[in-house]
Amino acid sequence: MPPSYPRVRIQGTVRTESYGFEEVEGKLVKKVREHVYERVLARDVVRIIFFLPHHHHHLTTGVTHALDSYLRAIEGCSGALSNYTCCWWEPSDLTEPSDWALIRGTLEPKEPRFFEDYEPDDARFAHKDGADPYFTLFGEQGNGYSFSYHARLPWREPPPHSVSVLSATLPTEYLEEHGAQHVRELAMAMASRLPFATGHAGLALHLWRSIHAQLDRLRTEIFRHPGFDVREASHFDSMGTRVDGIHWMNFFGPPVLSELGGATGLRARLHSPTTTVQGLEGERAVVTLGEAPEAGDTTQGQTLPAYRELARLLEPHLEPFPWGFLARQSPSVEEELRRWWRRFLD
């Protein structure tokens, strides 16, 4: 019988503001409107993500293949993807052939216009030229399905940690229905043509707001179930070749893999009976921690020893603590999140 996973579904009230102008006695007066609505603030998912130290024009074939692999996997899942955002366009329903044409158009190969070539006044609008194309596909809020791609700006000499990022999510119900092997095959298919530095697949919480803004709601869940990732690294985090935590499937490419001794070196240093190391083409490898992802349960003594073993091996390569800005704003929250961040190391 396939495993079942903890359900994390947190509803909450969201307040946003919009701005406009109204004519009052012949003058335009700025008006602020408050919008209040209910939405899912946190949801359990399976997240697949790759960090790609390349410009868009080197990635179009691989990203197209990853997108096609994801779409085949969710075929028949009613309402999985129903909306999208693309570059500078407003969010829209994903219903017309022209919507898909816009998405596919961002993946057409073309030579880059390097960011250094923009005039200073034009550089602010480089995204409107498609310099760093991006799009996100998603379903009805809270359904757990999404696919997102954001390319880095094409500098001739790119900043050392800048990467393009591709990610996708599936609801945990999908994992339970189709099985872990099916999800593993999807992650492998998506990875097969991507020149990643690192990547991973595993259980995660999809958050509407950052974890530090929702810690009071999520504290019990994240400390009880260490297998849930809450770090949603993105294009803006400049991940470079650093490793984004420990997960069910852990993908390594150059230069990280060579620094770890290659697939052979990893096999020699990982001893958990549930861990497998598979070499991939292009000096890449994937380390999988068990036949299926695990949430763990610290109240039952399920501390995920295979995850802890890999964490100790990867510690020199792990991303530094990403929420250090909280030190002055909220020292107690920062301290708690540091404890969570090191949950597999301490």
Are residues 129 and 144 in contact, defined by beta-carbon separation less than 8 angstroms? no
Confidence at residue 186, expressed as pLDDT on a 0 to 100 scale: 98
Q: Is the peptide bond before 6 cis (omega within 30 degrees of 0)?
A: no
Are residues 55 and 197 in contact, defined by beta-carbon separation less than 8 angstroms? no
Residue 115 binned pLDDT confidence (cut-offs 50, 70, 90): low
CB-count burial class (<10 Å; 0-12, 13-18, 19+) for 142: middle
pLDDT top residue among 13 and 147: 147
Q: What percent of the chain has pLDDT over 70?
A: 93
Confidence at residue 92, expressed as pLDDT on a 0 to 100 scale: 84
Residue 131 binned pLDDT confidence (cut-offs 50, 70, 90): low
Residue 140 CA to residue 169 CA, distance in Å, equals: 13
Cα–Cα distance list, 129 to 59, 113, 299, 335 (Å): 18, 9, 52, 42
3-state SS track over 130-160: CCCCEEEEECCCCCCCEEEEECECCCCCCCC
Rounded to an integer, the average pLDDT of 322-327 is 92
The whole-chain average pLDDT of the chain stands at 90
Residue 43 binned pLDDT confidence (cut-offs 50, 70, 90): very high
Confidence at residue 127, expressed as pLDDT on a 0 to 100 scale: 54
pLDDT above 90: residue 62: yes
The number of beta carbons lying within 10 Å of the beta carbon of residue 1 is 3
Confidence at residue 12, expressed as pLDDT on a 0 to 100 scale: 82
Are residues 87 and 128 in contact, defined by beta-carbon separation less than 8 angstroms? yes
In whole angstroms, how large is the CA radius of gyration of the chain?
A: 21
pLDDT above 90: residue 17: no
Are residues 46 and 70 in contact, defined by beta-carbon separation less than 8 angstroms? no
> Which tokens in the block code for residue 331?
């020292």
Rounded to an integer, the average pLDDT of 155-169 is 91
